[in-house]
């Protein structure tokens, strides 16, 4: 299941956005609260726009990759692990429905591709 975080809009916690894949059908965007679920497809969505994208660096992940690199490749592996490990990309996306409701969501690039595919 895709990791989608609600930042603002007409839905807030305890609501949760998910992309629901149905076998043989196109995926849909669903918003859940407990056992209640409302589903939206391309006919309900007016727009999905990327607001920004940022890369977050995790110090612990960098340290872990650095240690692993040092064990495998020595000092050069340590440097490569520290420089390359622990980068997490997150994208902020604006979703507007045709009925006027909207949400500001945060997701990873893989989830962004799934969200954008809902429009086609």
pTM value?
0.68
Name residues whose C-beta falls within 8 Å of residue 49's C-beta, 6 or more positions apart in sequence: 93, 94, 96
Looking at the 3D structure of the chain, how many domains does it have?
1
Maximal C-alpha separation, the chain: 58
Which positions ≥6 away from 34 have C-beta within 8 Å? 14
Q: What is the pLDDT of residue 78?
A: 47
Q: Which domain holds residue 30?
A: 4-117
pLDDT cut 90: percent of the chain above it: 22
Least trusted range by pLDDT, from 37-41, 49-53, 73-77, 114-118: 73-77
- CB-count exposure of residue 81 (10 Å: 0-12, 13-18, 19+): buried
Q: What is the per-residue pLDDT across 21-39, written as a single tens digit (0 to 9) for each?
A: 766 677 889 999 888 999 9
pLDDT score for 97: 94
Rounded-to-integer distance, Cα 66 and Cα 70, Å: 6
Higher-pLDDT residue of 90, 101: 101
Query: Which pLDDT belongs to residue 67?
Result: 57
Task: Give the number of C-alpha atoms closer than 13 A to the C-alpha of residue 98, restricted to the C-beta side.
Answer: 8
With a cut of 90, say whether residue 120 has pLDDT above it: no
Q: Model confidence over 87-100: pLDDT tens digits? A: 567 888 899 999 99
Measured between alpha carbons, how far is 70 from 67 in angstroms, rounded to an integer?
5
């Amino acid at each position: 299941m895709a990791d989608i975080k609600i930042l603002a809009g007409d839905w807030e916690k305890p609501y949760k956005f998910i992309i629901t894949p149905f076998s043989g059908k196109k995926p849909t965007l669903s918003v859940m609260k407990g056992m209640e679920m409302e589903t939206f497809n391309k006919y309900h969505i007016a727009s999905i726009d990327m607001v920004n994208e940022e890369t977050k660096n995790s110090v612990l992940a960098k340290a872990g990759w650095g240690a692993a690199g040092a064990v495998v490749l020595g000092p050069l592996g340590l440097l490569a692990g520290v420089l390359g490990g622990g980068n997490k990309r997150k994208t902020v996306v604006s979703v507007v429905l045709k009925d006027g409701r909207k949400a500001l969501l945060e997701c990873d690039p893989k989830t962004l591709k799934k969200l954008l595919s809902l429009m086609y």
